[in-house]
Chain A
Amino acid sequence: MGKYILKRMAHLIWILLAVSFLTFLLMYLAPGDAAEKKLNAQGISVSQEVLERTRQEMGLDRPFLVQYGDWLLGVLRLDLGSSYKDGFPVGEKLARGLGSTLVLALWSLLLSLAVALPLSLLAALHRDGPLDRILRFLSFVGNSLPGFLLSVLLMYLFCVRLRLLPVLADRSLKGLLLPGLSLAIPLCSRFLRQFRAELLEQLGRSYVTGAVTRGVKARYILFRNVLRNASISILTIVGLSVGSLMGGSVVIETIFRWPGLGKLAMDAIRDRDLPVIQGFVLLTAVIYVGINLLTDIAYHWVDPRVREE
């Protein structure tokens, strides 16, 4: 197992290099730069030489490779540089953003799993029954509604009409519910479909018939065998979706004024704040590869057979 993890670590380094270089290149090619954005943030147009001086101060006039090399050296010293926009250290901004995004991501993940797992189990057991059809219809609807429409509908219903939940989301349980729900609904509909397919596949396996013949209780068959075996693919599905949770919740974070990574990234991109964008991209790459590593390790732990492959 150790060798395997080392291989994955090398794999991670490679990806981080490729991703950060690609981002730097993309942002460098994109028109407009941080100095311009920073100076006319409030819509006041600025004279040329003030622009040149700020660009020079921020080191934006140095050639592309020098800027990238300088940034890379910084990363090796664990110093992600400071934001062009306000000079604050990027690490600090990301940490603040990461905290709230993780809270929101985990909460919506928990919400969707708590709903998707039992329901997909029921849908799989009552295959093609009335419950199965209703759940499939709901998952279609959930899957095709854009996040920003869903959140406005939810907010309108719960905050204005029923006055049950606050519009100003905070970390309390009540404040967290709506943003969590807006993220969880599309996620949960995707999970519902994928989990149901996995569970059906396991239920069709011969060991289920064998267990029934041996008179094993339904509870044991379901939870200790079917769910356990299906947990491998379920883990992979969840692993893949965490990636979309990290960056993809930009829309929800903007609407619910949730100071998460998504909004931070969006503002950074708008202001061409390269160090923050790079920091964000590195962070999401690390998280993405880290989660894949975790799912692979869990894969090995649950299904030893995979080790030989």
Chain B
Amino acid sequence: MKRIVALVLAVLLALGLLGCAKTEKPAETPAAEPQILKLAESFAYPSLDVHKEYYGWYTSIYGISETLFRVGDDLSIQPLLAEKAETSEDGLTWTVTLAPKAAFSNGKALTADMVARNLKRLAEVNPRFAYLADFNISAAGDQTLTIVTPQIYPTLLSDLTAPELGIMDLDGTADFDNAPVCTGPFVLKSFQPEGTVEVEKNTAYWNEAVKLDGAIFYYMQDDESKLLAMQSGEIDGYTSVTAAAKDIYAADPSRYVLTQIPATRLQFYVLNETRMDDVLRRAVNLAADPGAIAAYLGGTVSPAVGPFTSAAPYGKVTKPAPDPEAAKAALEGAGYTLNKDGFYERDGQPIQLNICYYAARSLDSIAILLQEQLKAVGIDSILTVQEDPDSTYIATGDFDIALYCMIADKAGDPYYCIDALFRQDSRWAIAGFRSDACEALINELQFETNVTRRAELANQIVQMVIDDNAFGFVGLFNKTTVTRKGVEGIAENCPFDFYGVDANTGIG
């Protein structure tokens, strides 16, 4: 029997030793060693084909693919593979001149014909860009490209900045899924589909000197694991930092740098006009306090006025400040009276609003906080969670307040969001917002080419929606990025999600 006990102890000891095998501390990267940056990403795709699905977003983040133009941190459109682009008087023909030095990583120069073939391939393989097929795209010489649109298409420039329009060497690439040949500062070193991606410096980069020697992108979905990996020194930074992690990083400024800017992902709610009259909607919007909600969410969200960041020229709108007393006054003015358990009711019928949401992007927190804020004003409400909003409360319209979260500004232009939310044939029309004047302004915006005029139109439309209390804009997700001290240039100041490493990224 003694022998059995000894056996057991030996097994346990072996396991213990195994676990505690002393490992060397992760070595600081001394100067001589190659400068490899390690980042964590929340998405990873099985393919690197720039044109398909959203893969282009990630080839752009990995620094492999580049587009004709890029969007600057201040939402302005800047040249990249293309130097400049002009439109003809009737606004139908665009001439784009390519940067003379632009070339692929295999040394081949970039020609206008290759760009035209890329755009045609994109139209075929990606349903979201099928509209490009209606344009007449042709190469006029090696360096110039002409695009003729059937009607005036003012937002073509910002469309050209979309990452899906990354340029690949269609002839030089054997396997589009695993090894696309592009023009970016980095080339692929190793690729695990839906896993870890490694890139190294593109020695033949046409644009400028590349600081980093390489980068590794780990696919990490779980927020806690990212926090722990950052603390254990295994990664150098990541974006979309949670409230909990933010407080921990903020407490140790000597090691971590937090950068926080309002990005383009919008959290908002729609008020069902078929069920709620004007007074009730106004009261709800007065009771809701985006500032308090942003405080609760630990600064991961900035309070929003309209759907766009106020920094943008098309984001200049105003809405009444939250005022619970005014909300109560409005309700009592319309004949609502407080019942015994402190909720407003009218002719015996207490108000009970059904707040519908889905458990993602902090919408569940906003639902709870909204319920509290309405209760403070005397409006009762219940919460309904759905696993998939698009086919439940948005499709059936079975809601009083519907929470949703989407990207409002795809590439520095207001039209995409206004068209998706406020048009009379949009999915949200089910909530009952009808305004012919607004529809007319949207049609005008669709074809207006002058940038300042477009901003004016956008502001007018959004102001109309706010005044009608059809929508409630709660917050714009902050793009919170954490980096280890000394690391900079991973697009932490850019509001868009599809930029990452580039030539200037450094470990410092």
Contact = CB atoms under 8 A, between A and B. Distances in A.
B47 A86 contact: yes
A50 interface: yes
Contacts of A53: 127, 130
Given A41-B53, A259-B194, A160 B231 contact: yes
Interface string A34-57: 001111111111111010011001
Interface stretch (A151-159, A236-244, A278-286, A289-297): A151-159
Interface string A73-102: 000000000000010100001001000000
Given A114-B11, A254-B221, A219 B47 contact: no
Given A88-B46, A122-B5, A257-B220, A160 B228 contact: yes
B406 A177 contact: no
A280 to B, nearest CB: 15
Q: How large is the interface on B (under 10, 10 to 19, 20 to 34, 35 or more residues)?
A: 35 or more
Contacts of B45: 86
Interface in A111-144: 111, 114-115, 118-119, 121-122, 125
Contact of A222 (B4, B57, B406): B4
B19 A32 contact: no
A36 B231 contact: no
Given A38-B53, A255-B222, A257-B218, A43 B405 contact: yes
A165 interface: yes
A85 to B, nearest CB: 8
Contacts, number: 135
B435 interface: no
Interface in B267-319: none
A50 B127 contact: yes
Contacts of B229: 159, 167-168
**Most chain B beta carbons < 10 A, residue from A30, A40, A44, A158:** A44
B427 to A, nearest CB: 7
A162 to B, nearest CB: 8
Interface string B22-35: 11011000000000
B21 A174 contact: yes
Contact of B391 (A32, A160, A255): A32
A126 B220 CA distance: 46
Contacts of B437: none
A197 to B, nearest CB: 19
Contacts of B427: 45, 48
Interface of B: 1, 3-5, 7-8, 11-12, 15, 18-23, 25-26, 45-47, 52-54, 57, 127-128, 130, 192-195, 218-222, 224-225, 228-229, 231-235, 265, 361, 386-388, 390-392, 405-407, 410, 420, 427, 497
Given A57-B127, A114-B15, 19 more contacts: A31-B387, A32-B387, A36-B391, A39-B128, A40-B390, A42-B57, A42-B497, A43-B361, A43-B405, A43-B407, A86-B47, A86-B52, A155-B225, A156-B228, A163-B26, A164-B21, A166-B232, A174-B21, A257-B221
